[in-house]
Amino acid sequence: MTANEDLITWNIRWRLAGGIVSCKTCHSQQPETQRGKVFEHLPGCGYAGQHCTPWDDLDVICQSFKHDK
């Protein structure tokens, strides 16, 4: 996938506003200050129990844009 496609895929699942990432499914939130922790979804979320690191994933995508130039 291209960096654009990766960012679109990330954006389908996550919302970023004011330094807080939110799951678009369960609306659980994680501030950037807790980026080193695994994201915890609310019970019943389809992503609950999965190892999620949205901040790290976004960093990798951003680095891809830098390397594409």
pLDDT tens sequence across 3-55: 999 999 999 999 999 999 999 999 999 999 999 999 999 999 999 988 899 99
Q: In 1-69, which ranges are E strands? A: 14-17, 20-23, 29-31
Question: Which are the contacts of 25, defined by CB distance < 8 A and separation ≥ 6?
Answer: 13, 41, 45, 46, 47
- Structural domain spans, the chain: 3-68
**How much is the pTM?**
0.87
